[in-house]
Amino acid sequence: MGCINDAYNRPINYLRVSVTDRCNFRCLYCMPPGGVQLIPHEDVLRYEEIELIVRAAASLGLSKVRLTGGEPLVRLGIANLVHDIAKVPGIDDLALTTNGVLLTAKARDLARAGLRRVNVSLDTLRPERFYRVTRGGELAKVLAGIEAARAAGLTPVKINTVVVRGLNDDEVADIARTTIERDWHVRFIELMPLGRSSDWAHDGYVSTEEIKARVETLGPLTPAGGAPPAGNGPARYYRLPGATGTVGFISPVSEHFCFQCNRLRLTADGKLRPCLLRADEVDLRAALRDGAGVAEVAELIARAVRLKPEGHGLAKHEPPAGRTMSQIGG
Ligand code: SAM
Ligand code: SF4
């Protein structure tokens, strides 16, 4: 079945679902030290509510779902949700974005439940720096988690690295170098001006052009098309000479990639956001708790699709102050 198009003729086939706003890290550029004001428990969508929303989305032709957070693996019983979503007819790709620290314990159950792949966020390979950036995280646990994901068949493993000036910009070449020997697909991401409570989000921006120049100190980059398998996101991929893995670049700020945006975002409290960087939301939770079924929710999702702006307009306006990345899910 074909998927729904928005007002600018972009096919919308991808739903990102934030399953919790809670997190076991406090990354410097994502969260204030004490964390954010948490959504009250009763306002967080229950698993059966998320499943109904996914069914409604699938009825409109959306076929890809990614679970995110906060940290999705801190939510109890997450494999049960994976299991339920994996069974929804029409959903042919189910992935998850995680900080990786709980993967050693959970990768196998997640794979058994029907998860296909994981993206792991990893901003540094230096243990002390990792501890500082995440405000308390242990690098060794994340590296073990990446291996556990691979062993469980959650492949290809993509590594997301947000480059922040003064925090890890001096490590870009070291991180890219890992792709020479390992089958890692490292994607360098430009810092977005969200999470206004943090100075990093203001001052830490490094452009893809600069990041790429740092990678190129290792050798020339050859375009690698849409690699790794099944990439239809905003990353552009390259390979270093003789490398097993790839290096990708995601440029939400420097490059206008909105023209190929294919996604909607569901927040943990049940609001559907047509654009990451705009404040508009459609309230699905209120409708669900008023008794809406699949057809009514599908109508609301179609409304959110119609609301998608042509672009995030960051060049023209400040990003909305309301929610941080940990609340929207990235
Ligand atoms: N906790 C999980 C994780 O860290 O992968 C999932 C949620 S996290 C919000 C999703 C992604 O958003 C992570 O890769 C994180 O590095 C990224 N992120 C957070 N704040 C960001 C910002 N201001 N600009 C760009 N990416 C950001
Ligand atoms: Fe948590 Fe992910 Fe934000 Fe880090 S980036 S604080 S792991 S939600």
Mutate to test the pocket of ligand 2, among 25, 75, 101, 120 (most ligand atoms within 8 A of CB): 25
In terms of C-beta density within 10 A (0-12 exposed, 13-18 middle, 19 or more buried), how is residue 179 classed? buried
**Ligand 1 atom closest to residue 160's alpha carbon, by position in its atom list:** 14
Mutate to test the pocket of ligand 1, among 97, 102, 186 (most ligand atoms within 8 A of CB): 97
pLDDT at 197: 47
Torsion of CA 42, 47, 52, 55, to 10 degrees: 150
Give the other-Cβ count within 10 Å of 10's Cβ: 19
31 lines ligand 2 (CB under 6 A): yes
pLDDT tens-digit series, residues 138-189 = 999 999 999 999 999 999 999 999 999 999 999 999 999 999 999 999 999 9
From the CA atom positions of the chain, what is the Rg in Å? 19
CA of 262 to the centre of ligand 2 (A): 23
pLDDT tens-digit series, residues 288-307 = 999 999 999 999 999 999 99
CA distances from 154 to 19, 69, 114, 116, 329 (A): 19, 19, 10, 5, 20
CA of 74 to the centre of ligand 1 (A): 15
Q: Edge to edge, what strands does the sheet with 263-266 contain?
A: 222-223, 236-239, 246-250, 185-190, 158-163, 117-121, 93-98, 64-68, 14-18, 263-266, 271-273, 282-283
Domain layout of the chain by residue ranges: 11-328
Q: Phi first, then psi: give them for residue 300, nearest 5 degrees.
A: -70, -35
CA of 41 to the centre of ligand 2 (A): 19
145 lines ligand 2 (CB under 6 A): no
pLDDT above 70 for 15: yes
Contact 111, 157 (CB under 8 A): no
Contact 133, 204 (CB under 8 A): no
Residue among 234, 267, 272, 269 nearest 250 (CA): 234
CA of 163 to the centre of ligand 2 (A): 14
Pairing of strands 271-273, 236-239: unpaired
Which pLDDT band holds residue 75 (cuts at 50, 70, 90)?
very high
Which pLDDT band holds residue 253 (cuts at 50, 70, 90)?
confident
Element (H, E) at 296: helix 294-307
CA of 322 to the centre of ligand 2 (A): 17
Mutate to test the pocket of ligand 1, among 96, 123, 135, 162 (most ligand atoms within 8 A of CB): 162
Which position has the token pair 């009250």?
A: 40
pLDDT above 70 for 229: no
User: Which of the two residues, 64 and 279, has the higher pLDDT score?
Assistant: 64
State pTM to two decimals: 0.94
pLDDT at 161: 98
CA of 163 to the centre of ligand 1 (A): 11
pLDDT at 316: 55
Distance CA 301, CA 282 (A): 8
Average pLDDT, the chain: 92
Residue 81: strand pairing partners: none
* Residue located nearest, by CA, to atom 20 of ligand 1: 30
Average pLDDT score over residue span 8-17: 96
Pick the CATH number of 11-328 from 3.20.20.70, 3.40.50.11540, 3.40.30.10, 3.30.930.10: 3.20.20.70
Structure tokens at 190: 């430009």
